[in-house]
Structure 1
Amino acid sequence: MRPGIAFTSKKILQYAVILLGFGMNLTDILAKGRQSLPIIISTISTSLIVSFLLYKLLHMDAKVSTLIGVGSSICGGSAIAATAPVIEADDEEIAQSISVIFLFNVIAALVFPALGSMLHLSNEGFGLFAGTAVNDTSSVTATASAWDGIHGSNTLNAATIVKLTRTLAIIPITLALAIYRAGKKEEALEEHGAKFSLKQVFPMFVLFFILASVVTTVFSLPAAVTDPLKTLSKFFIVMAMAAIGLNTHIVKLVKTGGKPIFMGFCCWVAIAAVSLVIQSFIGIL
């Protein structure tokens, strides 16, 4: 079973990211998500800075720290799926990062609607809050739906658009990581007199993700075409997560989980706080 598990946890995960691009109509997302860009840029920067500082202070594993920082700042499991092959993370590192992200997704879906009510957020403000402060798309949907159920509003669409706008950050971040890794590998190979090839480290699946987004945008693909592809993407992610689970040592995961959970908590709190502060600053709350 090992070859099949390895193929599913690596290649199928990349195919899932490519298919994710068919849910990205760039024109619609950027037109509707423009208002949220200052908040998105601020929250992404905050999460990456917090994860980097804690990586240095707590002497954490670099790959786990990167995955938690990217997963917290962009779009949870999808961002981890896109980043893991670029930094060559193993299954246990992916599993640990996914577990941390999902833990705070669940807490956010349960806590944020009540927090929004306590802070007297407007429907528009909560849509931005849910879209920028909750990690995974499914959890954003759950959080916004809970708010709508309580307040009889319609924040779900706005929160989803903000979330999809955040997802576009997968492109520059994965490419930047690929260039950084390429530089490191080139130095290492040159020390041993070996030749370096950019193709060895460049994430070609990210280019196909961009191409899928461009095709969806240029040809305005209808929902009848894109919805099955998005469903297949989700199914591929489930397959990959199952394969990663089959390669994960659960006892080791639990024993080494303290620092990653603390990092995930710090990123989660920092993102939520920055989202609310920026909203207040630009007068949306």
Structure 2
Amino acid sequence: MGINECKTLNVTAVLKKILFIILFLFCLTPYVDTPLALVMGILLALVIGNPFQSLSQKISKWLLKAAIVGLGFGMNFYAVVESGKEGFLFTVFSIIITLLLGWILGKWLKVPYITAFLVSSGTAICGGSAIAAVGPVLNADEKQLSVALGTVFILNAVALLVFPVVGHALNLTQHQFGVWSAIAIHDTSSVVGAAQKYGEEALQLATTIKLGRALWIIPLSVFTVLIHKGDSKKINIPYFIGFFVLAMLISTFFPQGELVYSYLVFFSKRALVVTLFLIGTGLSLETIRSVGGKAFLMGLLLWIVVSLGVLGVVLYAF
């Protein structure tokens, strides 16, 4: 490789990093909402690639947790508990039905058992977090994890963009949308992003129900250990949910800090926008190629059935 070619590559790499930083900073402004941030991240990844791939993944995980905890400072504990009661039984029922449907679809489409179980778990509970929790218990290999995570990632991106549009088209109330998005969208990031786009009441309810749903990662992992004789030491517990509850308790019982809480909530919402941008940059061509046709079809059908079923219940019961 000649000197000129090396210089060209170096300049290109620098320009990619500059563009990434510009878009990252742009996401901090009020001109960018969660769907736009996700689209920007995806386009960046597909067109030029993410020059900070490894760093982006690490930052997005911690930033999402921090943003969710910060949102807790804007919620009243008693109101959240009251709202969460009605979603509890619905959550339990939907998890069982989703896992059962996933097993049936996996058998029908002849998707390898471990891959089917991972996709079903991600759809039933909390997307990538659930997959990451049960994967080690199943001794899933890198290929199986990539297929399941890729499937959930793509459907998450679609959900974040489509759900608010469908919600407005059907004139769903804030309450209805909050319940629907929390149950039917895979990852917490997309649930919170879609609900934030829809409205404040939807955001609070969706966040509460989704985080309560995420706790089912624990019994799912234990169940997986029991039926597959896995290593229970590898169960991942979402401890940050405890800090979210603590934030709600502080804002409820110490209202004197309302001004500080309002700033924390504001910065948390901007942090969520940045998080969705970083998550979007993870959708590379390699991720798309890693998703098998049958596994993706299974995940898509399972997600459509669950989304429509939950929507029907929400329209009727809420």
Q: How far is 1:84 from its partner?
A: 3.2
- % of aligned pairs identical? 11
| Distance in 1, Cα, partners of 2:317 & 2:97 | 12
Q: CA RMSD in A?
A: 3.6
| Distance in 1, Cα, partners of 2:94 & 2:226 | 27
Partner of 1:169: 212
Q: 1:7 to 1:66 in 2, by over 3 A?
A: farther
Give the greater-gyration-radius structure (CA). Answer: 2
Confirm or deny: 8 A CA contact 1:42 1:274 kept in the other structure.
Answer: no
Q: Is 1:202 the equivalent of 2:235?
A: yes
What are structure 2's unaligned runs of at least 5 residues? 1-48, 136-143, 186-190, 252-256
Partner of 2:157: 102
Letter in 2 for 1:172: L
Cα deviation, 1:175-196, whole Å, max 9, x if unaligned, reads 12332344467x35xxxxxxx6
What TM-score, normalized to structure 1? 0.66
Paired residues, number = 237
Partner of 2:288: 250
| Distance in 1, Cα, partners of 2:194 & 2:223 | 31
Q: 1:249 to 1:63 in 2, by over 3 A?
A: same
| Distance in 1, Cα, partners of 2:277 & 2:223 | 29
Q: 1:242 to 1:270 in 2, by over 3 A?
A: same
Confirm or deny: 8 A CA contact 2:222 2:232 kept in the other structure.
Answer: no
Q: Is 1:262 the equivalent of 2:301?
A: yes
Q: How far is 1:264 from its partner?
A: 1.5
Q: 3-state DSSP class of the match of 2:70?
A: helix
Partner of 2:316: 277
Letter in 1 for 2:149: I
Match of 1:115 among 170, 179, 198: 170
Confirm or deny: 8 A CA contact 1:29 1:165 kept in the other structure.
Answer: yes
Moved more, 133-142 or 176-185: 176-185
Q: 1:37 to 1:174 in 2, by over 3 A?
A: closer
Confirm or deny: 8 A CA contact 2:133 2:221 kept in the other structure.
Answer: yes
Q: 1:211 to 1:159 in 2, by over 3 A?
A: closer
Partner of 1:214: 245
Q: 3-state DSSP class of the match of 1:203?
A: coil
Partner of 1:22: 70
| Distance in 2, Cα, partners of 1:247 & 1:94 | 14
What are structure 1's unaligned runs of at least 5 residues? 71-78, 117-124, 145-155, 189-195, 280-285
Q: 3-state DSSP class of the match of 2:291?
A: helix
Letter in 1 for 2:286: T
Q: 1:82 to 1:170 in 2, by over 3 A?
A: farther
Q: 1:64 to 1:241 in 2, by over 3 A?
A: farther
| Distance in 2, Cα, partners of 1:69 & 1:171 | 10
